[in-house]
Amino acid sequence: MLPLLALIVIVYLVSILVLPFPHWPSFLVVLKEVLRTREATSLQKLSMLSYLIRDALILPVFAVFWLIDEIFFAGYRNVSIREPVFIMSQPRSGTTFLLRTLSQDCDTFLSVKHLEWRYPFICLWKLVGLIGLRTWFENKSYWPNTELGRKCQKIHYHVLGVYEEFGIFLEERFYHHYFIFRRFPFPKVLAQVTDYNSLSPRARQAMIDTFVKVISSPLRTPNPLRPLTFSALGRIWNCKKRPDRGWFSCDFRAV
């Protein structure tokens, strides 16, 4: 029993070393607040804890995918990203609509889909395409299959195959973006998981490197919906004191 536990611990520690995400200080801030908050019911806290635990437990699987990419699909590093286009505006001003409209011009732009931000692994999507499950994944609803989730789907249609902006990537993989507030609505958490400028140089670089991989991967493994020439298409919500501005102005030169 002890050798098995030791092996599990070793595998998990290796996974933490291999993967550039999540940003553990932000993850732990969220976890700590979920455990100690009195603003949520027991059922709500259980739901949020389940999400965090599930996300943590799958890290060894993600590490395997990441290593396969780095060994067998390292060519993404040689992809040239030219003429990036950024959509900047206030929230609820039509930026998502513009993003998805421009994304239809496949001869000019390449945009990233929600599922590619959520699971940034080249080998995974090659495997999914090989066994014919890409369409199934793309048609999967972002919202949970609950009464509330179905109502949300009617109000704001969102499946994993829609083109999305990079906030999903920073939220779901790094736990460092103001979108976190949608899943974990605690004011104390918001201030600590949105300050990009306070991140260490190493943490910033991990985010940038993974970001570059995500937008480069479709060029390395093109599918029928993607051209080889593109302008990277992304969006930031340019509000006062938004850390996203620092994300691009300080570090996108690295791309």
Q: How far apart are CA 2 and CA 22, in angstroms?
A: 28
Sign of CA dihedral 161, 166, 172, 177: negative
State the DSSP code for 139. T
Distance of CA 161 to the CA centre of its chain: 14
pTM: 0.81
pLDDT exceeds 50 at position 233 = no
pLDDT exceeds 70 at position 96 = yes
Q: How far lies 46's CA from each of 6, 167, 188, in Å?
A: 28, 25, 19
Q: Give 127's pLDDT tier (boundaries 50, 70, 90).
A: very high
Q: Decide which of 213 and 29 is more confident.
A: 29
What local confidence, expressed as pLDDT, does residue 218 receive? 58
What local confidence, expressed as pLDDT, does residue 225 receive? 36
> Residues near 185 by Cβ (< 8 Å), separated by ≥ 6?
none
The H or E element containing residue 247 is helix 243-251
What local confidence, expressed as pLDDT, does residue 48 receive? 94
Percentage of the chain beyond pLDDT 90 is 31
The H or E element containing residue 125 is helix 122-130
pLDDT exceeds 70 at position 247 = no
Sign of CA dihedral 223, 224, 225, 226: positive
What local confidence, expressed as pLDDT, does residue 252 receive? 45
